[in-house]
Structure formats: structure tokens, C-alpha cells
A and B are shown apart, each in its own frame.
Chain A
Amino acid sequence: MVLFVVLLVFMIIGSIIAIEARNLLSSVISVGTVGFALSIAFLLLGAPDIAITQIVVEVIALIILIRGTISLDNTAIEKHRDTFAMVSALVFFGIFLAFSYVALKDMPEFGKPLMKVSQGYLQRGLQRTGAANIVMSIVLDFRGYDTLGEATVLFTSILGAFVVLRKRGRKKKEERDRARVGIPGDL
């Protein structure tokens, strides 16, 4: 548990450094340390599936972010200290802390009362789906709709990224082909 708290503090420090760092590359790297610490935290909590996913996605995200930041010319950020924004952020953070203290005071101990639904999954998962990995039987069988929604989100986001980022659309290519054949463009 002590290691877990140390990891949490490390993650908070890493995120603060990521916000405050002047160099874009060093802030990306400190975001990466936060992600790796999060994957170790998942391992300590007994969730190897999530830990594998977290560490692998973190590596890919770091590669993409570094590839994106190095290719930019302005990697150094100019600082503008806005006192009003700072004060309002602090005020809202205080309000959030007060509310969360009231709300989280009566929370049960971490993972202590195992809920009825999850108990049912644990007891009948192997028998109902035949999958040895209980996580997969929940993700792909009992909660298949969630996974389908997740896949749809990925699908839609990559479609959107292709549409927005591809500089030359299909239409211009068609116009060029028409011009080559000899048909006027405004057909």
C-alpha cells in the first residue's frame, strides 16, 4: 500500500511537471512517466490485462507525440502568467476538494463489498462462456455492447482524422483526372 501511495504522489508530481515544463519535449516525456507509473499501479491492483494495455498504448502514444513535437518548429513555450486564471483555478480546486471531502467521506473501503453482479460473473463466467480469462469473458461476452461501442469510437475517430488531416481530398483528384481526359471540371 505504501508503494501505491508513492506511485500516486509520483504521478501527481509528473503531471505538474508536464504542465509547467517550458520545453514541449520534456513535458511529453513526463506525461510518459505518468503513464508508466499508472501501469505499475494497475499491476499492483491485480489487473494485468489493463496494465498490458496501458503500457503498450503509452509507448505508442509517446512515439506519436514525440514524432509530432519534434517536427514542430516552436518546441519552447512562451510563458504568460495570468493571475486571474491562476486565482480562479485555485478557487475552483478548493471548491472541488471541499465537495470531494464531503462526498467521499462515506465511501466504503477500496474494493471491499464485492457487488452482486460481479459475484455472478465470477461464479458463472467460466461455465457460461468457456473462457479461462474472466476479463475476456466479461469484455467480449457479457459486456459485448461496450466493446462494440469502443470499437465504433475508434473507427469514427480514425475516419475523422483521415478526413481532417488529408490535405488533398478525393474531389480534386477527380477534377484532375477529368482535366486529363478532357472533360470540363464543372460537370
Chain B
Amino acid sequence: MQGMTIIVKTVVRIVTSFIVLYGIYIVLYGHLTPGGGFPGGVIVAAAYILIMLAYGKEVALRSFGDKSASLLDNLGAFGFLAIALLGLTGGYFFLNFINHGQPFRLVSAGTLPLSNIAIGVKVSACLYAVFIALAIFGRAVYRAMEEPGKEER
């Protein structure tokens, strides 16, 4: 049995969804309240790391491994770049080409919420990948997952 005690696991199972929800709120309301893509992404990454610490590496890696984290990281980075490049359709790089709309509404400020979402996805996957890289690479669990034939020693 990997991971921490059943108390920690139960608390984590209840709390994790709220942490992810709070992170998504911080990302989506970044253009209205303090916050934004970077802090929200870090909060979502903290939820992933909490799951990994409580349930053990194998459970977390099986559901959300390093390759998918790297893929999400790349998707977020290139999404942000694509939003910046789409501004070229209206004239110049980083043009806020979508209609600004009513201020203080959720859908307002043109491309800013979209950039926030891209940065949030990128940062969350990136920090999770950093945690995997620093804590797990080269350990027995990861090697056993890379080579399914060999048993973990």
C-alpha cells in the first residue's frame, strides 16, 4: 500500500476538487480580481502534487503522467503564442483583437481571459512536471513503469 494514512487520503479526496475549483476561479477571474494565470495555475499544480504526496507516485503517475504533463505544458505555451500571433490579423503582435465588451463582466477585456487560461494550463502542467522531474525521475518506481517487464526492487 503506497502513500500516506487513510485519514490523509480521505481529506485529500474531499479537498482536492475544491482546490482545483479555486485555482480555476483565480484563472478565470484574473482580469477582474487579483490573481491571474500564474497563481491560479500554481494552485492547480498544488492539487496534483497533493494527490501525488497522499496517494503515492504510482497512482498519480498512472492517471496523469509526465508525458501528458509535458504535452499540456507545450499546448499552453503554444496557445499563448497563438493568441499573440492572431493579433497580426488586425495589424500587430499582441493586438487585443476581440471586442472589449462591458467592463467588470466575466466575458470582457478581449483576449486577456484567453491568455490567462493558456498561461494557467501551461503553469499548472509545468510545475507538476518539475515536481515529477525532481522527485521521481531515476527512482525505482519510475524505472519500473518505464520497463514493465522488470519488477521493482
Contact residues of B between 103 and 132, Cβ < 8 Å to A: 103-104, 108-112, 115-116, 119, 122-123, 126-127, 129-131
Contact partner of A155 among B77, B110, B112, CB < 8 A? B77
In the complex formed, the residue of B with least CB distance to A176 is: B147
| Chain B interface, DSSP helix/strand/loop, else mixed | helix
In the complex formed, the residue of A with least CB distance to B29 is: A133
Residues of chain B lying within 8 A (CB to CB) of residue A175:
none
Given the known A-B contacts A52-B39, A161-B130, A165-B134, are A155 and B73 also in contact in the complex, defined by CB atoms under 8 Å? yes
Q: A122 interface residue, CB < 8 Å from B?
A: no
Of A48, A64, A71, most buried by chain B (CB within 10 Å of CB) is A64
Contact A136 B30 (CB under 8 A): yes
Contact residues of A between 57 and 99, Cβ < 8 Å to B: 57, 59-60, 63-64, 67-68, 71
Q: B60 interface residue, CB < 8 Å from A?
A: no
Given the known A-B contacts A52-B35, A131-B109, A140-B116, are A68 and B46 also in contact in the complex, defined by CB atoms under 8 Å? no
Contact A152 B77 (CB under 8 A): yes
Interface residues on A, range: 35 or more
Given the known A-B contacts A60-B127, A155-B73, are A136 and B31 also in contact in the complex, defined by CB atoms under 8 Å? yes
Residues of A at the B interface (CB closer than 8 Å) are 48-49, 52-53, 56-57, 59-60, 63-64, 67-68, 71, 126, 128-133, 135-137, 139-141, 144-145, 147-148, 151-152, 154-155, 158, 161-162, 165-168, 173
